[in-house]
């Protein structure tokens, strides 16, 4: 295995047969660290190619979770297509799947099947509710797990009290990161043991891990609303936008009151603590809201910085992209993608920052590398042409657009 300090997974081959978010995002992180990740998808592509903005399979979801991969499209129901996946799995260091419990067993690609001919493989299986229990075969998405695990119950609208879902797929993303971490550790252990491993990851586990603090807090309070803590920690509308404010410590309450033109509130002993302020939360929020609406976000942010109060204006994505802080930190690398143009890729903690318009920033179209991968497996041009003609594999409609 060849590896480098900057790309520790260089020389690792990953066969990513997963779809959606959690599995593909784990594979994407492996690509970021230098692994050769082969995305295996059907003719119509991973289902995530059909959701979120974009066109012809190049959607925001597909771009985010498949950057740096190669794609082969094949028909697993075809005998020869199944053989192709077995051939890929034979040479894989990591195999990823996220089908419902039992599907890979029926298709002949379970861990038992793959490890029989590739005992060193790290096999990652991602499911919604896990491999056991009464819900093991039930389909699941991020939103379903937000509902099931109580996340929606703590994210209620202030006005309507209705549980809401977070729109950034937090459970899928967190589960993908947990899964990537598990695979990385399994690869590290394999250096000493020479043995592969089966990793059973679920969105249910990821959701629980993501909400650890809230769940412990729930137990410690018996489920009662938390009466103490900082207050106000809230978002207020201004004359030209919104600002987020965090009066985290009691000694910041008096300067906050002076800032909004209500020094009298600071003199009320009943409001000296976060618990006391929370008890009169509606009154405080009304007064503060009226004050913040009277001037601009920049005005209030400057005043709060002077007072030592944590704050930040609520930015749009466009404002974030153009901000000097994100520019200085090189938070985003922009790359040109087929069909959709330039898109941003966040440079997350850990991997080497992406370089614009390099193979590491390219997102494959469906089956874009089918011929290339088949040639690597030893197939000649005649066999490749035959398999394309017989719809064993696909690539003609997915070749890169100039």
The tens digit of pLDDT for each residue in 288-343 reads 999 999 999 999 999 999 999 999 999 999 999 999 999 999 999 999 998 999 99
For residue 390, give both structure tokens.
């017989």
* Model pLDDT for residues 149-167, shown as the tens digit of each residue: 999 999 887 778 899 999 9
The structure's pTM equals 0.91
**Can you give the CATH number for the domain in which 383 is found?**
3.40.50.10540
Does residue 61 surpass a pLDDT of 50? Answer: yes
User: In terms of domains, do 249 and 188 share one?
Assistant: no
- Provide the token pair at 96: 């990823």
Query: What is the Cα gyration radius of the chain?
Result: 26
Are 17 and 72 members of one domain?
yes
> What's the rounded Cα separation, in Å, for the pair 272 and 269?
5
Helix (H) or strand (E) holding 193: helix 170-193
Q: How many structural domains compose the chain?
A: 2
Taking alpha carbons only, the member of 71, 47, 43, 68 closest to residue 59 is: 47
Query: Does residue 160 share a domain with residue 53?
Result: yes
Question: Residue 300 is part of which domain span?
Answer: 233-316
Q: Are residues 117 and 244 in the same domain?
A: no
Give the integer Cα–Cα distance in Å for 41 and 8.
26
pLDDT value at residue 118: 98
pLDDT confidence tier of residue 400, bands split at 50, 70 and 90: very low
State whether 302 and 366 are in the same domain. Answer: no
> Model confidence over 111-152: pLDDT tens digits?
999 999 999 999 999 999 999 999 999 999 999 999 999 999
């Amino acid at each position: 295995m060849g590896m480098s300090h900057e790309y520790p997974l260089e020389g690792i081959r990953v066969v990513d047969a997963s779809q959606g978010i959690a599995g593909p995002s784990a594979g994407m992180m492996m690509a970021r660290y230098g692994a050769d990740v082969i995305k295996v998808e059907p003719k119509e592509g991973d289902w995530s190619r059909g959701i979120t903005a974009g066109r012809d399979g190049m959607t925001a979801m597909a771009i985010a979770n498949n950057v740096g991969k190669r794609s082969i499209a094949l028909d697993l129901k075809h005998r020869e297509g199944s053989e192709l996946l077995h051939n890929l799995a034979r040479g894989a260091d990591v195999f990823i799947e996220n089908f419902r419990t039992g599907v890979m067993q029926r298709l002949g690609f379970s861990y038992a099947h793959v490890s029989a001919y590739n005992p060193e493989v790290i096999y990652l299986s991602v499911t919604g509710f896990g491999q056991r229990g009464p819900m093991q075969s039930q389909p699941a998405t991020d939103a379903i797990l937000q509902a099931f695990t109580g996340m929606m119950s703590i994210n209620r609208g202030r006005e309507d009290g209705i549980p809401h879902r977070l729109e950034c797929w937090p459970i899928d993303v967190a589960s993908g990161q947990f899964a990537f971490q598990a695979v990385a550790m399994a690869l590290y252990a394999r250096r000493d043991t020479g043995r592969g491993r089966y990793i059973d990851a679920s969105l249910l586990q990821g959701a629980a891990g993501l909400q650890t603090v809230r769940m412990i807090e729930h137990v410690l309070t018996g489920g009662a609303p938390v009466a103490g803590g900082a207050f106000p920690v809230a978002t207020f509308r201004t004359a030209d936008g919104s600002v987020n404010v965090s009066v985290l410590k009691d000694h910041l309450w008096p300067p906050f009151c002076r800032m909004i033109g209500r020094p009298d509130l600071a003199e009320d002993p009943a409001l000296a603590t976060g618990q006391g302020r929370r008890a009169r939360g509606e009154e405080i929020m009304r007064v503060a809201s009226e004050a913040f609406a009277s001037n601009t976000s920049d005005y209030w942010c400057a005043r709060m910085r002077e007072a030592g109060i944590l704050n930040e204006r609520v930015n749009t994505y466009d404002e974030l992209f153009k901000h000097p802080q994100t520019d200085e930190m090189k938070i985003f690398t922009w790359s040109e993608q087929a069909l959709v143009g330039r898109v941003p890729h966040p440079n997350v903690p850990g991997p080497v920052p992406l370089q614009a318009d390099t193979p590491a920033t390219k997102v494959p179209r469906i089956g874009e590398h089918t011929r290339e991968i088949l040639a690597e497996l030893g197939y000649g041009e005649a066999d490749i042409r035959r398999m394309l003609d017989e719809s064993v594999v696909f690539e003609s409609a997915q070749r890169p657009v100039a």
